[in-house]
Amino acid sequence: MLSGASLRLLPGLEEELPVAYEAFRSLKHRMSPDDLRPGALGAPCRIAFIVSPSYVEDGLTRLDPMDRPEALRLLVEQSFNLERSGGEGFRALADVVRNATCYRLTMGDLASAIGAVRELFADAGV
């Protein structure tokens, strides 16, 4: 989910969005990966990390551990079709959380946030 303010962090994206998105610039809305880059989806893989980002203007970038119950709660809150999938969907989310290492990412700028996530993968040998 992207807020209108988040568009500033993705250079060039705002200019590429369809005119229909204009009415929603000040609201949060969902975007498909192909809206960011055609062919952005890769092959299925095991989820190693859950990273919950938040932007703090002029803030320092920090990657802090997050416990699994909190990560599951965040995923449930972000799931827009959990009512349809019910218990099966909840179990799938619980399995993802059970097998992942979870973090909160507080970022003040995109470059340092990318660096923190890259370092996370490098440290894990992924």
Mean pLDDT of the chain: 85
Domain that holds residue 22: 1-42
How far, CA to CA in Å, does 27 sit from each of 7, 12, 36, 78?
11, 19, 18, 16
| Same domain, yes or no: 17 and 34 | yes
What's the number of domains the chain is made of?
2
| Same domain, yes or no: 37 and 54 | no
| Same domain, yes or no: 20 and 48 | no
Q: Kindly report, residue by residue over 61-115, the tens digit of the pLDDT.
A: 999 999 999 999 999 998 888 888 878 989 999 999 999 999 999 999 999 999 9
Distance CA 81, CA 76 (A): 10
| Same domain, yes or no: 97 and 112 | yes
| Same domain, yes or no: 12 and 49 | no
Model-wide pTM > 0.85: no
| Same domain, yes or no: 35 and 57 | no
| Same domain, yes or no: 32 and 56 | no
| Same domain, yes or no: 47 and 77 | yes
More confident residue, 126 or 59: 59
Q: Is the pLDDT of residue 56 over 80?
A: yes
The confidence score (pLDDT) of residue 46 equals: 86
| Same domain, yes or no: 33 and 88 | no
| Same domain, yes or no: 68 and 92 | yes
| Same domain, yes or no: 10 and 58 | no
| Same domain, yes or no: 30 and 7 | yes
